[in-house]
């Protein structure tokens, strides 16, 4: 192939690559538009009702964006795809009840903490399981790629007895149908399920103390400061509290009223 023919062939290929590169380049250059990832299998933080994505986290990020003059586009995806998507820049930020962990801080940035959570055990009423020690020999359901699965592994639980699902609803279904004896997961989500299903209960103390943060792509310099400023603003104007009333019935046990930086609250894997 001669040089002229090669250039004629290469030119459309090069131009064909440009549009794919422009959107992220435009956002990275201080654009007010952000793409926010969400996993809709985490009620009441994220869920989907009649095709509409809603929940505490969704309303919160929209309120933060409004306070900072940002435009939000919500993109739904499985939880285990969120961190990789932030690393590539396909997402600018993500809200999915994401625990601030030291390992995650190596790959993404985090906002200040906005919710204090912990892991709890959910069982059917009448179960002989009273605490974590009683789980030995039982089948435990949880959500894959979460702190719950990490906790079980770190504490020597037989992972052959762990059923991991892409969404927490499937774990709850396993509990209800007898496919699992317990669910180990984030307490506010367990409490939400318990409120709607009187045949189950939480047992034992919270197993961990952990904080949720808004995960932010390292490819968006300056976005952390904007989101933190917006978070501070909705705490000050009362919107943050209103979301606790709307989604948790006014239970503010998970509220973070001060400023907690990611490095100070990050948990180890």
Structural domain contains residue 101:
yes
Please work out, in degrees rounded to the nearest 5, the angle formed at the alpha carbon of residue 240 by the alpha carbons of 236 and 242: 115
For residues 161 and 45, what is the distance between their CA atoms, to the nearest angstrom? Answer: 28
Range list of β-strands (E), the chain? 33-38, 47-49, 52-54, 71-76, 93-95, 109-110, 115-117, 119-124, 140-143, 162-165, 182-186, 200-203, 210-212, 215-216
Do both 173 and 53 map to the same domain?
A: no
Percent of the chain at pLDDT > 70 equals 89
Question: What is the domain range of residue 143?
Answer: 119-203
189 shares a domain with 132: yes
Say if residue 175 is in the same domain as residue 57. no
CA distance 82 to 57: 15
Is 188 part of any domain? Answer: yes
Q: 150-208, pLDDT tens digit by residue?
A: 999 999 999 999 999 999 999 999 999 999 999 999 999 998 999 899 999 999 999 99
pLDDT at 253: 83
For 212-247, how does the pLDDT look when each residue is reduced to its tens digit (9 = 90+)?
999 999 999 999 999 999 999 999 999 999 999 999
136 with 196, same domain: the answer is yes
Q: Are residues 138 and 109 in the same domain?
A: no
What pTM value is reported for the model? Answer: 0.77
68-101: pLDDT as tens digits = 999 999 999 999 999 999 999 999 999 999 999 9
Does any domain span residue 148? Answer: yes
198 and 74 within one domain: no
CA–CA dist 183, 121 (Å, integer): 6
- Binned at pLDDT 50, 70 and 90, residue 62 comes out as very high
The predicted pLDDT at position 9 comes to 44
Claim to verify: residue 97 and residue 215 sit in the same structural domain: yes
Q: Is residue 265 part of a domain?
A: no
- 93 lies in a domain? yes
Does the pLDDT at position 20 exceed 70? Answer: no
Q: Let me know whether 169 and 108 are in one domain.
A: no
What CATH number is given to the structural domain containing 79?
3.40.190.10
The answer to whether 239 touches 99, Cβ cutoff 8 Å, is no
Instruction: Please report whether residue 168 resides in a domain.
Output: yes
Please tell me whether residues 239 and 110 are part of one structural domain.
Answer: yes
Q: Number of structural domains, the chain?
A: 2
Assign 151 to helix, strand or coil: helix
Q: Same domain, yes or no, for 224 and 110?
A: yes
Query: Does one domain contain both 39 and 165?
Result: no
Same domain, 215 and 112: yes
Q: Are 175 and 123 in contact (CB under 8 A)?
A: yes
State the sign of the Cα–Cα–Cα–Cα dihedral 144, 89, 240, 51: negative
Confirm whether 170 is domain-assigned: yes
**Domain membership flag for residue 18:** no
């Amino acid at each position: 192939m001669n040089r002229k023919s090669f250039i004629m062939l290469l030119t459309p290929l090069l131009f064909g690559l440009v549009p794919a590169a422009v959107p992220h380049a435009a956002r990275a250059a201080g654009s007010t538009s952000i793409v926010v990832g969400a996993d809709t299998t985490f009620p009441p933080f994220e869920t989907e009702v009649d095709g509409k994505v809603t929940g505490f986290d969704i309303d919160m990020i929209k309120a933060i964006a409004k306070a900072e003059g940002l435009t939000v586009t919500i993109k739904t995806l499985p939880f285990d795809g969120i961190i990789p998507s932030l690393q590539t820049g396909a997402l600018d930020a993500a809200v999915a009840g994401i625990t601030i962990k030291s390992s995650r801080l190596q790959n993404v940035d985090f906002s200040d903490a906005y919710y204090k959570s912990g892991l709890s055990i959910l069982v059917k009423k009448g179960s002989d399981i009273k605490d974590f020690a009683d789980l030995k020999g039982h089948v435990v359901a949880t959500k894959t790629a979460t702190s719950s699965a990490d906790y079980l592994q770190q504490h020597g639980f037989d992972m052959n007895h762990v059923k991991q699902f892409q969404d927490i609803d499937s774990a709850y279904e396993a509990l209800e149908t007898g496919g699992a004896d317990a669910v180990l997961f984030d307490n506010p989500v367990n409490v939400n399920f318990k409120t709607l299903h009187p045949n189950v209960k939480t047992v034992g103390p919270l197993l961990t103390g952990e904080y949720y943060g808004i995960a932010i792509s390292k490819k968006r310099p300056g976005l952390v400061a904007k989101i933190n400023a917006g978070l501070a603003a909705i705490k000050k104007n009362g919107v943050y509290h209103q979301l606790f009333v709307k989604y948790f019935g006014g239970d503010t046990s998970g509220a973070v009223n001060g400023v907690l930086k990611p490095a100070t609250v990050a948990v180890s894997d």
